């Protein structure tokens, strides 16, 4: 059984993330989407809100689990018995950063492999930071995030 971890901030989760997650769930036996956090760094949404929104957005897909973790991704992967890290690629800028991250993770734990999936063109420009920026400036984020995230953000912010 191949378990993949899809780590990230997901602050908030976007349609681009969901696309990578669903594709991952078609490839691997189980995908654990894991919200990484640092208690000393305050995010935009609290971690439990982020995980609950993700849970609601993917509740119909049985081989996806939603969790959160603090600390090194490879230590979390070891603990969960995962052999794959799943990451999404949008642009060559993502590639530069992701290659370095992947090589660092492999240097820390050589049994872990990073698998990259390329986003669909329609999600290429979507990022959590641009969703947050549009939201605080009262723009429309409807087409960028899952319905449940849209409802939560427009009711609470």
**Does residue 123 interact with ligand ADP by CB under 6 A?**
yes
Cα–Cα distance for residue pair 129/71, rounded to 1 Å: 22
Tell me the number of residues near ligand ADP by CB under 6 A: 16
8 binds ligand ADP (CB under 6 A): yes
Smallest CA-to-CA distance from 53 within 146, 135, 131 is with 146
- Residue 136, Cβ density class (10 Å: 0-12 exposed, 13-18 middle, ≥19 buried): exposed
Query: Judging by DSSP bridges, how do beta strands 64-70 and 30-37 pair with one another?
Result: parallel
Nearer to ligand ADP, 53 or 126 (CB): 126
Sole window of 3-11, 26-34, 45-53, 133-141 interacting with ligand ADP (rule: CB under 6 A): 3-11
> What is the rounded distance in angstroms from the CA atom of residue 85 to the CA atom of residue 22?
14
Shortest Cβ distance from residue 133 to ligand ADP (Å)?
A: 14
Residue 95 or 157 with smaller CB distance to ligand ADP: 95
Compute and round to an integer the Cα radius of gyration of the chain: 15
Q: Which is nearer to ligand ADP, 1 or 40 (CB)?
A: 40
Q: What distances in angstroms separate CA 124 from CA 23, 79, 91, 111, 120, one per listed residue?
A: 15, 32, 8, 30, 6
Taking CB under 6 A as the binding criterion, the range among 16-24, 40-48, 50-58, 76-84 that sits at the site for ligand ADP is 16-24
Q: Using the rule CB under 6 A, which residue among 4, 5, 17, 33 binds ligand ADP?
A: 17
Contact set with ligand ADP (CB under 6 A): 8-10, 14, 16-17, 20, 87-88, 90, 94, 119, 123, 126-128
| Positions marked catalytic | 17, 41, 90, 128
């Amino acid at each position: 059984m191949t378990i993949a971890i899809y780590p990230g901030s997901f602050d908030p989760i976007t349609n681009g993330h969901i696309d990578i997650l669903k594709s991952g769930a078609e490839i691997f036996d189980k995908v654990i989407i894991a919200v990484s956090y640092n208690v000393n760094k305050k995010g935009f949404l609290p971690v439990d809100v982020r995980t609950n929104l993700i849970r609601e957005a993917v509740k119909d897909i049985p081989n996806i689990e939603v969790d959160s973790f603090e600390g090194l991704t490879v230590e979390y992967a070891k603990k969960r018995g995962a052999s794959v890290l799943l990451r999404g690629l949008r642009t060559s800028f993502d590639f530069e950063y992701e290659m370095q991250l992947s090589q660092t993770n492999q240097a820390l734990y050589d049994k872990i492999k990073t698998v990259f999936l390329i986003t669909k063109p329609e999600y290429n420009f979507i990022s959590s930071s641009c969703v947050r920026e549009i939201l605080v400036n009262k723009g429309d984020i409807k087409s960028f995030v899952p319905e449940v995230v849209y409802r939560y953000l427009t009711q609470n912010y």
